[in-house]
Every structure is written in C-alpha cells, then in structure tokens.
Structure 1
C-alpha cells in the first residue's frame, strides 16, 4: 500500500471518528472538585459496602458483595475523569471483563445502585476528584519476540 493511500485512509478515519452529532460528548466538561469533600461523599454513601479502596476500610459498614469491586490501584490504562463520571451515573455502560459474575444482575447489568436522583452534581464532581488520583498508571509491558528469519 502506498503512503498516499495510508494518508487518505487515516484522514477518512479521523473525519468519521469525530462525532459532532447531537449525542456527541464534544464540549461536555465538569469543573474540578474538592478531594476532601469527595472523601466525605465516599463515606456518606457508604461506597465501601460494595467497593474496596486501599486505606479506606470501614468495619462498621456491612459488606453487600462477596467480592467488592476494587477502586484505585495500578492500571495499564488511564482512568479518565469522564470514565469515572460515566461509571457512577451509568455503571452498566461498560463492565470490565474481570468483573465478578456475582456482582452482576441476572440480565448482565451492574448491581450498583442508581445514585442519579440521590447524589448532587457537586457531590459527583467531588467524588470523582477524590477517586481519580487513587489510580496509578503502570506502563504496558510488551512481549518481546525474536525476529523472524
């Protein structure tokens, strides 16, 4: 394939990859929240009942899942602000492959309660600001193969 064709295909891909229709997230942005207030929100809604977060164990909160969903920690992909917001307001949007089947509804959706009518937007912003720094990006380790001869 010639370089010219590759450039044309790349340009076409970029044009179709940039959705600017009415459902596009383009222009959506939330302000930064307060990390300390986010920790208060985390405790207020007893997120630890279904999640685990290093350094935030609470014996007084009854566990609702046999295997809590881990928050924070090391990850080979960036946990973006938008991903965390989406995970809270629409937890069934994308369910990780490592997600424990015990934590799913019979229809395959997340067991996470809907907090959209309970949590304020400011609480959501603060909670995400609290959680995002808990993720540590680790470089993806590529498998090195010998050259084929």
Structure 2
C-alpha cells in the first residue's frame, strides 16, 4: 500500500512540475502595459463590432454581420486571463469560449474570425487586450444549498 501511494505521489509531482518547463512553456512571457483608450480605437479600426459586442461601445458606421453577434465581457465564474484574450485574437480557432456558438464556426470547426496577425501590430494587440480585459467580471460560483434531512 505504501509503495502504491508513494508511486502515485511521485507521478503526480512529476506531472505537475513537468508542465511548467520546456520550450512551449509560457513561463517568462510578458507583454508591456497597454492603453485602454488606444485599445478601443483598435477595436473600432479593425471593425470588431461587425461580429462582436462590448458594453457601451457602438459605431453606426460599422456594418453588422447579421449571422454572428458575440458579446465580449460580462460576468464569468472563471477568470478570463490576459493570455487567453491574446490567444483568442492571434489564434481564434484555438478555443471557443462557448462551444454552442455554431454560427461563429465553419463546417470544419474553425473560427470564422479573420486572422489579423499580418495586419495588427504588437502594440495594437496589447492595447486591444488591455481594452477588453476590464470588461470581464469574476463572480463567485454559487453553490447550491441543500436541505439537510436527518435520518
């Protein structure tokens, strides 16, 4: 029994520590601080409002894509990290925040979002993510309260 527990402990520790090392590790990755105001300008410049909505941001000159309307921000029970937002912009097909958003996917499961990697500067990316980040609010998960029934 001791041997099994010891082996399990070693396996778990190796798994945990091996995930933070290696050439693909995000350890040490950091971008400079961005500007919220400049980020809103980037959001409008690249006409993100065609498919996305952000609270209190409107521009009537941007033609809306009637088939896609994805709200960015709001209350979340998990933290939406800076890294997740950066990844969502530079690799939109990496992960869908809501798998039910079938209108935002192609038939092969890729994102319909245009990839702006060759058009957007790094500074614009930083500012855009700095603009988007404060729109997300972490709300505590509310546990269901069950009535205790003594036996």
Q: Same fold (TM over 0.5)?
A: yes
Q: Deviations over 1:70-92 (max 9, x none)?
A: 10111111111100000000010
Q: Distance in 2 between matches of 1:11 and 1:124?
A: 36
Gapped regions of structure 2 (runs ≥ 5): none
| Counterpart in the other structure of 1:124 | 125
Q: Distance in 2 between matches of 1:78 and 1:110?
A: 22
My pick for the range that moved more, 64-73 or 25-34, is 64-73
Q: Distance in 2 between matches of 1:118 and 1:86?
A: 16
| Counterpart in the other structure of 1:12 | 14
How many residues matched? Answer: 147
TM-superposed deviation, 1:99: 4.0
TM-superposed deviation, 1:108: 0.5
Change (3 A) 1:138 1:58: same
Q: Distance in 1 between matches of 2:127 and 2:18?
A: 34
My pick for the range that moved more, 9-18 or 81-90, is 9-18
Q: Distance in 1 between matches of 2:126 and 2:100?
A: 25
- TM-score, normalised with respect to structure 1: 0.87
SS in 2 for 1:111: coil
CA contact (8 A) 2:19 2:25 kept: no
Asked if residue 133 in structure 1 is aligned to residue 134 in structure 2, the reply is yes
TM-superposed deviation, 1:29: 1.0
Q: Distance in 1 between matches of 2:125 and 2:95?
A: 18
Q: Distance in 1 between matches of 2:148 and 2:9?
A: 28
TM-superposed deviation, 1:131: 0.6
Q: Distance in 1 between matches of 2:112 and 2:144?
A: 36
TM-superposed deviation, 1:38: 0.6
Q: Deviations over 1:94-141 (max 9, x none)?
A: 113344211111110100001000000000000100110010111111
